[in-house]
Structure 1
Amino acid sequence: MERVHEAILISSVFQELESGKNRTSIKFLAIGDWGGLPYPPYITAVQKASAQEMSKVAEQVGADFVLALGDNFYYKGVDSVDSPRFKSTFESVYTAKSLRIPWYVLAGNHDHIGNVKAQIEYSQRSNRWKFPAYYYELNFHIPNTHKTLTIIMLDTVMLCGNSNDNSNKQPKGPLRRTEANRQLVWLQERIARSQADFLLVAGHYPVWSVSEHGPTKCLVQQVQPLLVKHKATAYLCGHDHNLQYIEESGVGYVVSGAGNFLDPDVRHWNHVPKGSIKFFTGQASTMGGFVHVEVAQDKMIVTFYQAKGTSLYRTILPQRKLD
């Protein structure tokens, strides 16, 4: 319980970025569902290819940090802070110098089968693994501008419940309703109070998705209205193992769940708002993928990359216009 309150206390701190004289933007990568395998070789071809391409993009285009969008360890999370999986799935895969940057982590449904607290504790052992609490807020000054970026990191499994992947079920509702309500109240307060020029919310489950899991009803009911009302710039997630971009009511919905497996399933194509689907790929031939985001003075540029080394889709979102 203490950790949750801690999230509220630390939330208005600004993260330090290296500020070069000429830079006027923040750049980061977003990848979900990247969590390897619990048995040898502990890594999939998709994870390996995505890690290599991430390192190239980070080196050539630039990246200040990575958002790790959950399902960090397949299939049952980790059991303790001493788990060898931290090394086999994380430290020894993302080895490039360009990826030795902060990784801001949130938990997915597979992480919650194991011990999420152990993942939070691992922050004390790694100089790049940053997982301060189940849910938390990140604030950044965009260098050499007067603009700010806020990223609200959610635990959508605590909020909505766990989903049974094998039977393609929606989350059944939170295990601990009090915890879920506390997080929702915290989100309502943070999002309503935010004066950031760019406001992002990130979670594991999608609000909108055309793929296997489809829209998450609990998030469509509880989070989507907040995003629209408070003019959030975008919502980032994983869970479905592909890349998607959906735009609805002025909010961008980024699905980046292609870090370890690929799934071309589009069974929920007609279950998202009409005309909202802008981009989708889950083809095995891409070898995986991720998203690169650049938050500049007056716009946010989102680029979807395939692990094979080309950008597939790019979109630009404006800064928030607060009344």
Structure 2
Amino acid sequence: MRAVTMIFLILGMLLVHGTNAELQRFEHPTKADGSLTALVIGDWGRKGQYNQSEVAYQMGVTAEKMDVDLIISTGDNFYPGGLSDVNDPAFDESFTKIYTAPSLQQQWYTVLGNHDYRGDALAQLSPVLRGKDGNWFCMKSYILNTDVAEFFFIDTTPFQDKYFNDPEDEVYDWRGVLPRDKYLSTLLQDLESALKESRAKWKIVVGHHTIKSAGIHGNTQELVQKLLPILEANDVDLYINGHDHCLQHISSSDSPLQFLTSGGGSKAWRGYYDWPNAKEMKFYYDGQGFMTMQIAGGDVDINFYDIFGNILHKWSASKTFFSQI
């Protein structure tokens, strides 16, 4: 299966969608029955500390039980300041040597978080890292096609004004992002076009930053203003993110869109919660853990797990699809 997946990825790298190389399309095979199982983790890269190793162990146990096909990282892959370069030992110390379970030796589809931008952001995109560990795959923005769902990975860090106006004495690697306005407008246009063209059974958008969150970072207003209307207008089913170090499920009052946070890969327990609408808040856990997603035809099942493998929250949805002639 790994060899087949790599062939799909290599072929996908040759298929550039539109004029923006950030939105290349890649393919990942489903199981023989057409189903797909993914594990989702975010905010993890701390060289095993803050219970990262313990979360990784439980991820391996759960992934084996569920026969996981791929793993999604919602960003902040390496703390505190990303990677210094492609030879940074943190890559091995926080990734290869931590997620060692056989069941986790699948393709990891990752995006960059704000902490990743504080180092050499381009290092994480380099084929050098894929050469070191074939499980690793990272781009700023891209599309992953499967037979049952389409995943749109979006680079959310450049949307936030504060990283440009009030950088908190941090230096960010904006290579490939500047001029910012053009970068964001092109990304949004290409995303909107791709979503309109999509005939996927399930449309899933993945980014690092929250759109809606009761955690300490709260809503990301720039995404609420610029990204959310595009997701709602194009019938996106799930928005999956990290950034807040918690597990969370918020249901939209305005559309079927669900907001799912999986940012409990290591340091957590912020002790903060603020959400005014009790009907929207389906689940909040201020601790470490991860999320799984099973998609089979018109059914999707989401589970949130804590560090001990307990299922804290379940959510399911179904659709009826008609074949198109």
The answer to whether TM tops 0.5 is yes
How far residue 15 of structure 1 moved from its aligned partner, in angstroms, is: 2.0
Trace 1:1-323 onto structure 2 (pairs within 5 A): 5-8=20-23, 10-11=24-25, 13-17=26-30, 19-20=31-32, 23-36=33-46, 42-121=47-126, 122-131=129-138, 133-141=139-147, 148-161=148-161, 163=163, 176-248=180-252, 249-270=255-276, 275-283=279-287, 288-319=288-319
Q: Unpaired segments of 5 or more residues in structure 2?
A: 1-15, 170-176
Give me the whole-angstrom Cα distance separating, in 1, the residues matched to 2:49 and 2:227.
Answer: 33
How far residue 67 of structure 1 moved from its aligned partner, in angstroms, is: 0.3
| Equivalent pair of 1:233/1:320 in contact (CA under 8 Å) | no
SS in 2 for 1:109: coil
How far residue 289 of structure 1 moved from its aligned partner, in angstroms, is: 0.2
4+ runs deviating over 4 angstroms:
161-167, 320-323
| Equivalent pair of 1:233/1:319 in contact (CA under 8 Å) | no
Q: TM-score, normalised by structure 2?
A: 0.84
Give me the whole-angstrom Cα distance separating, in 2, the residues matched to 1:126 and 1:166.
Answer: 33
SS in 1 for 2:51: helix
| Equivalent pair of 2:20/2:187 in contact (CA under 8 Å) | no
Count the aligned residue pairs.
Answer: 293
Is the alpha carbon distance of 1:293 and 1:165 closer, same or farther for their aligned partners in structure 2, counting shifts above 3 Å?
farther
Give me the whole-angstrom Cα distance separating, in 2, the residues matched to 1:61 and 1:182.
Answer: 38
Is the alpha carbon distance of 1:48 and 1:302 closer, same or farther for their aligned partners in structure 2, counting shifts above 3 Å?
same
Q: What root-mean-square deviation, in Å, do the aligned CA atoms of Structure 1 and Structure 2 show?
A: 2.4
Give me the whole-angstrom Cα distance separating, in 1, the residues matched to 2:271 and 2:210.
Answer: 15
Q: Unpaired segments of 5 or more residues in structure 1?
A: 37-41, 142-147, 168-172
How far residue 63 of structure 1 moved from its aligned partner, in angstroms, is: 0.6
SS in 2 for 1:269: coil
| Equivalent pair of 1:160/1:180 in contact (CA under 8 Å) | no
Residue 143 of structure 2 aligns with an amino acid whose one-letter code is: E
| Equivalent pair of 1:162/1:174 in contact (CA under 8 Å) | no
How far residue 7 of structure 1 moved from its aligned partner, in angstroms, is: 3.7
How far residue 264 of structure 1 moved from its aligned partner, in angstroms, is: 4.4
Q: TM-score, normalised by structure 1?
A: 0.84
Kindly provide the CA deviation profile for residues 102-130 of structure 1, in whole angstroms up to 9, marking residues without a partner as x.
00010000000111210010234321101
What residue is the counterpart of 1:170 in the other structure?
none
Percent identity (aligned):
28
Give me the whole-angstrom Cα distance separating, in 1, the residues matched to 2:240 and 2:286.
Answer: 17
| Equivalent pair of 1:158/1:175 in contact (CA under 8 Å) | no
